[in-house]
């Protein structure tokens, strides 16, 4: 898949306020796993493009997530994707994230325990400004055999008018 295409689609999604027709949601989620190289995050300058005012260019939450996961899990590969633009939240929000963590600390651990390790590392963010966190937690061997990033399901607008999300957005701005 062309790297620019998903970005354009994401911009269109934003203009529609996060509501999309989604006739085949799950098959799309299952099929569209994009092969991704370790340098891809750096080679996609539009990944964090914010066309509107008010976003914090320093992306404090994203940096905090990256830093805490690095400290806690010593990953051999780490991706932190702000997916807030895919949801019914204002542009520039840092409320919805997807993380891909590849760490040998996951060896021998079932998925639930891996995810709990990630949740624990990001406890503060999750209790304050992060509303949704998608996690992929792989061992180095699993990453070598399947270096793909899963795709989040389309938003169904649940964040709009959600009091809890509004509080988290406010916490993120403060």
If the CB atoms of residues 54 and 127 are measured against other proteins, the closer one turns out to be: 127
The site string for other proteins over 86-115 (x = CB under 8 A, - otherwise) reads: -------------------------xx--x
Evaluate whether 110 touches 103 at the Cβ level (below 8 Å): no
CA distance 84 to 18: 10
Least distance in angstroms from the C-beta of 54 to other proteins: 25
Size of interface with other proteins, in residues (CB under 8 A): 30
Q: Does 60 bind other proteins (CB under 8 A)?
A: no
Strands of the sheet with 96-102, listed across from one edge:
77-82, 96-102, 132-138
Shortest distance (Å) from residue 53 CB to other proteins? 27
Beta carbon of residue 41, minimum distance to other proteins (angstroms, whole number) = 19
Contacts of residue 25, Cβ cutoff 8 Å, sequence gap at least 6: 153, 154
128 binds other proteins (CB under 8 A): no
The C-alpha angle 116, 117, 122, rounded to 5 degrees, equals 95
- 21, 23, 26, 58: which one binds other proteins (CB under 8 A): 26
Contact present, 134 and 128 (Cβ < 8 Å): no
Shortest CA distance to 101 belongs to which of 111, 90, 92, 91?
A: 111
The three-state secondary structure class of 99 is strand
Nearest to 80 by CA among 90, 89, 88, 70: 70
Residue of 105, 162, 166, 171 that binds other proteins (CB under 8 A): 162
Q: Which stretch binds other proteins (CB under 8 A): 1-9, 49-57, 101-109, 121-129?
A: 121-129
Closest distance between other proteins and the C-beta of residue 136, in Å?
Answer: 7
Determine the interface stretch with other proteins among 8-16, 56-64, 66-74, 120-128 (rule: CB under 8 A). 120-128
């Amino acid at each position: 898949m062309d790297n620019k295409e998903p970005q354009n689609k994401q911009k269109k999604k934003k203009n529609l306020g996060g509501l999309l027709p989604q006739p085949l949601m799950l098959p799309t989620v299952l099929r569209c796993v994009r092969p991704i190289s370790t340098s891809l995050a750096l080679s996609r300058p539009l990944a964090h493009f914010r066309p509107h005012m008010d976003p914090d260019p320093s992306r404090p939450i994203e940096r905090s997530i990256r830093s805490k996961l690095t400290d806690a899990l010593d990953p051999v590969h780490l991706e932190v994707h702000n997916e807030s633009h895919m949801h019914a939240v204002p542009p520039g929000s840092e409320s919805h994230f997807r993380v891909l963590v590849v760490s040998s600390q996951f060896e021998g651990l079932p998925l639930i325990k891996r995810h709990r390790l990630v949740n624990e590392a990001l406890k503060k963010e999750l209790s304050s400004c992060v509303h949704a966190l998608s996690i992929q937690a792989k061992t180095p061997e699993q990453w070598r055999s399947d270096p793909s990033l899963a795709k989040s399901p389309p938003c169904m607008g649940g964040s709009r008018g959600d009091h809890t999300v509004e509080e988290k957005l406010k916490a993120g701005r403060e």
